[in-house]
Amino acid sequence: MSNTPDIGQMNAVELLARYRDKSLSPVEVAEDALLRIERYNPAVNAYCHVDPQGALQAARGSEQRWFKGTPCGALDGVPASIKDLTLTQGMPTRKGSRTTTAQGPWEIDAPFSAFMRKAGAVLLGKTTTPEFGWKGVTDNPLYGITRNPWDTRLTAGGSSGGAAAAASLNLGVLHQGSDAGGSIRIPCAFTGTFGIKPTFGYVPQWPASSMTILSHLGPMTRTVEDSVLMLQTVARPDARDGLIGAPRTTPWLAQSDHLKGLRIAYSPNFGYVDVDPQVARVVAQAVQRLAELGAHVEQVDPGFSDPLETFNTLWFAGAARLAGQLSSAQRDLMDPGLQRIAGLGERISLEQYSTALEGRAALVAHMNDFHQRYDILVSPMLPITAFAAGHNVPPESSLTDWMQWTPFTYPFNLTQQPAASVPCGLANNGLPVGLHVVGARFADDQVLRVCRAYEKHFAQSHPHAPITPV
């Protein structure tokens, strides 16, 4: 089989086509991915664990199956990663925490890992997360800081920052993220990659997240079609998930590339968010492009006030639940920020918690009504571009918590709606900007339709190697 110098720029759909016509081998692809991880990962810390032996063994098995014309599944031979919050057989799941042990044993696959493996994906390793995925940037006491490939002085965002950095550099082509407050969409916006938080309950999650009804698992990739490949693989029932919904029976992605007849509500700021003008400019241009593709676009706010208090009540309570399972010695090893919100969570009363659940239900009902009039809501993904790594908030700001600079994300964890970040251009400072695309519950196909149409007509570039400005 021939060597292909551009392996590192291919997506999953392209790789599978090459495997079919035998112009490329899964072994070549795995070797290329591992080589580039070795070369580039030290600059970004996308991977906290790499398994070259396991990956090459899986790739050799895939090569034999493709040689015989009998692939075992839809992802056979495609290099992929799993976030370090998700159990993966043969690999440590440390969750970025010094409270965990390296001893294992690592004998169990979570549903996501199991489905990926069964479909033939070549699992390269685990990607970096903040401790227990608690915040919107990626650094942790165990593995350190994950950096942005567009400028290694900056954060990749979080909590799936490792997966986003890996997707940006194509260190593997399929990456698993999780999103309980924006953790797929935030880093995708900061790194110019695509990611979707599917409707809650489509993708099984076990063991259950401490954030329970807020937490979604989903794909992070360079292209929409690659994410669809992942969704088709992992969005299926698993008996271990007590919160799983009914399986999806309709296609994830319609065949049409136009947006004719689609009703899109565009909100520049939700009526209460201060958005950086350069971000606002890029997003407004992207929305104009959606109109050019045939969508009926109306500028309108979603009509709710900031649900931060509701979100924080549930988030802090989840952190308290997590910390409550640890000894005092273990808690002393935790990220101080996580310790702080766990302490706040311990003081939440039953009445406060119940009030938050009622507020969540009211927001769900409000957005259900909103989507009777509009198929899709679009907005900026974030009000800012990436900031200096090693900080929870932009260091020049007066902000104190990561939720304060992610106001567009967490409302839709409360409502459990499908929501995606699609790259829509670069700000004046040369950094990526994401367009936030939100659909009604169970209307994941509409979200993906918008994102694919945009991507097809307005393709975005990606860095070939980490950029470190002098």
Q: What tokens appear for 228 in the block?
A: 């669809």
pTM over 0.85: yes
Task: Find the CATH number of the domain harbouring 157.
Answer: 3.90.1300.10
- 378 forms beta bridges with 266, 437
At 402 the three-state DSSP class reads helix
Catalytic residue among 81, 159, 227, 421: 159
What is the pLDDT at residue 5?
A: 56
Residue 351 lies in a domain: no
User: What would the DSSP string read from start to end of 44-112?
Assistant: H--EEEE-HHHHHHHHHHHHHHHHHT--SSTTTT-EEEEETTS-BTTB---TT-TTS-S--------HH
Q: How far apart are CA 240 and CA 69, in angstroms?
A: 34
Residue 372 lies in a domain: no
Catalytic residue among 25, 81, 183, 267: 183
What residue numbers bound the domain in which 215 lies?
Answer: 7-301+377-457
At 190 the three-state DSSP class reads helix
Catalytic residue among 25, 62, 83, 197: 83
Residue 175 lies in a domain: yes
Q: What are the 10-residue block averages of pLDDT along the chain, 470 residues in total?
A: 70 97 97 98 98 98 98 98 98 97 93 98 98 97 98 98 98 98 98 98 95 96 98 97 93 88 97 98 98 97 98 97 94 95 97 98 98 98 98 96 98 98 98 98 97 94 93
Residue 81 lies in a domain: yes
Distance of CA 359 to the CA centre of its chain: 26
Residue 39 lies in a domain: yes
Tally of domains in the chain: 1
Radius of gyration of the chain (CA): 21
Residue 321 lies in a domain: no
397 is catalytic: no
83 is catalytic: yes
Measured CA to CA in angstroms, residue 165 lies from 42, 72, 201, 239, 429 at distances of 12, 29, 26, 32, 19
135 is catalytic: no
At 353 the three-state DSSP class reads helix
State the burial class of residue 304 (Cβ atoms within 10 Å of its Cβ: 0-12, 13-18, 19+).
middle
The label of the residue with tokens 């650094």 reads 139
Residue 359 lies in a domain: no
What is the pLDDT at residue 1?
A: 41
Residue 356 lies in a domain: no
